[in-house]
Amino acid sequence: MRLKAWPAFARRRIGSGKNPRPARNCSRCLDSIEQCQLEAGDFVGPLEQGILHWSRVHELADVVVGNQTGRPTAESVTLFKSVGVAIDDLAVAARVLACAEEAGLGRKLPW
């Protein structure tokens, strides 16, 4: 998977200025469209410039389960924006804990 993170300063960099190519010629993937519409100021510039349209953005969960195509070719680039959805953090933490326990790593701490 070829993935480019969508940093917080993206409003100034992605799709604005002299080179809008990174935002125009890539797949766009988010952890939550709804949360990004509420929280992610990074999208203001590209939305106002017509470079980004919500209809062309997919949630990572839809790509993972095969409901949406992540990249059409192996050379394609995907921009990923995460606003930090807690359920995702919880799922990753549970998996990390399970792997650590399975490998006999770590130790329990008193509460």
Which tops the pLDDT comparison, 55 or 11?
A: 55
Residues in Cβ contact with 42 at an 8 Å cutoff, skipping those fewer than 6 apart: 6, 7, 8, 9, 10, 11, 14, 81
The model's pTM is: 0.56
CATH fold group of domain 3-83: Rossmann fold (3.40.50)
pLDDT tens-digit profile of 99-108?
A: 999 999 998 8
